[in-house]
Amino acid sequence: MVLSAEECQLIQTTWAKLGPHLDKLGGEALCRMFCAYPQTKTYFPHFDLSPHSKDVQHHGQKVVKALDSAVQNLDNIRGTLADLSDLHAYNLRVDPVNFKLLTKCFHVVLGIHLGGEYNALAHLAWDKLFYCVADVLCEKYR
Ligand code: HEM
């Protein structure tokens, strides 16, 4: 899937507006995922998964940092996330269906923080980005 120049611009503009919230965004998305889709907890038996625990916050920051690298390198998401692709496929063996679940939760969190700015076009652009990220993280399964 290819992101258009307009979609790249929309992603980068909205991401920049999230500035002060970026630190907690990932934790919020993970909290939602563990609550709405409890089966995803099985990948994190070693974490304290209570809402907003340090483990969840800290892991959320790592996920957001990875998303930030993707946003800053939209023309080379594959190269940028290559190490994470190996990790999720070979070490963690995360079932690809889970990426869709986390994506849904990120959409909600982005909508909460961006309000009206997270309109249909922004939603579509971000959906495509999450698709691309998940595609890279899952590609080693094939
Ligand atoms: C680890 C990113 C989706 C399960 C990680 C790390 C990052 C990351 C940056 C830390 C790597 C490191 O410490 O070197 C992402 C991104 C995702 C995603 C960008 C999609 C947008 C998922 C999903 C699951 C998952 C859907 C399972 C439901 C894990 C697990 C770890 C991990 C179990 C290891 C945690 C630990 O023991 O510290 N991921 N991830 N990830 N991820 Fe993902």
Q: What is the rounded CA–CA span in Å between residue 137 and residue 49?
A: 23
Question: Does residue 140 have its Cβ closer than 6 Å to ligand 1?
Answer: no
70 contacts 2 by C-beta, under 8 angstroms:
no
Q: Residue 52: what pLDDT?
A: 83
Distances (CA, A) of 5 to 10, 75, 101, 125: 9, 10, 27, 10
pLDDT tens per residue, range 37-70: 999 999 999 999 998 899 999 999 999 999 999 9
Question: Does residue 77 have its Cβ closer than 6 Å to ligand 1?
Answer: no
pLDDT, the chain, mean: 95
Question: Does residue 92 have its Cβ closer than 6 Å to ligand 1?
Answer: yes
Pairwise pLDDT comparison (21 vs 56), residue with the higher score: 56
* Residue 142 pLDDT class (50, 70, 90 cuts): low
Q: List Cβ neighbours of 44 (8 Å cut-off, separation of 6 or more).
A: 34, 55, 59
pLDDT tens per residue, range 104-119: 999 999 999 999 999 9
Residue 26, Cβ density class (10 Å: 0-12 exposed, 13-18 middle, ≥19 buried): buried
* Residue 140 pLDDT class (50, 70, 90 cuts): confident
Cβ neighbours around 18 below 10 Å, total: 16
Q: Which of 43, 54, 109, 131 to mutate to test the pocket of ligand 1 (most atoms within 8 A of CB)?
A: 43
Average pLDDT over residues 97-103: 97
Distance 62 CA to ligand 1 centre (A): 8
Complex ipTM > 0.95: yes
